[in-house]
Amino acid sequence: MKAIGIDQAFISKLVETFYGRVLQHPELGPVFDARLSGRWPEHMEKMKSFWSSVAFRSGAYGGKPVQAHLGVANMVPELFPKWLALFSETLDDVAPTQEAKDWFMATAERIAKSLTLSLFYNPALDDPAKKPD
């Protein structure tokens, strides 16, 4: 991780920059702020320990991401591509190396897919090719 420029200082900068932009985003901003109003500092600390745990396998984060998203009002699957696009733009501006960007994007895409399945999976909308007639 160090070799590709990912350290604690970079994670802090990424989290601060990304959630600053989330708040400015016309669709993501209101969804986050409705839930986190008055609790933003705690959310930022949680997200820093979350990314540290994933990057350094440090065990700093002990939360439950699926449960945390369950009661978020106005959460719709279409928000995930927007979240990922904003994360990608942020990394273009702040990532120290292309490898660092690639690592964060691959990880975020995997988690976004897994959260989308946990929150919204509906057999009726699954691949029609797999359905019996």
| Interface contacts to ligand HEM, rule CB under 6 A | 31-32, 35-36, 43, 46, 50, 63, 65, 68-69, 72, 75, 79-80, 83, 108, 111-112, 115
Min dist CB 76 to ligand HEM, Å, is 8
Min dist CB 48 to ligand HEM, Å, is 10
Which of residues 42 and 126 has its CB atom nearest to ligand HEM in the complex?
A: 42
Min dist CB 19 to ligand HEM, Å, is 10
**Shortest Cβ contact with ligand HEM: which residue?**
63
Min dist CB 133 to ligand HEM, Å, is 35
DSSP state of 132: -
Spatial CA neighbour of 103 closest among 54, 65, 49, 59: 54
Which of residues 89 and 128 has its CB atom nearest to ligand HEM in the complex?
A: 89
Angle 32-63-118 from CA coordinates, rounded to 5°: 70
Ranges of beta strands (E only) in 2-119 are: none
Contact 91, 51 (CB under 8 A): no
Calpha distance 114→75 (Å, rounded): 15
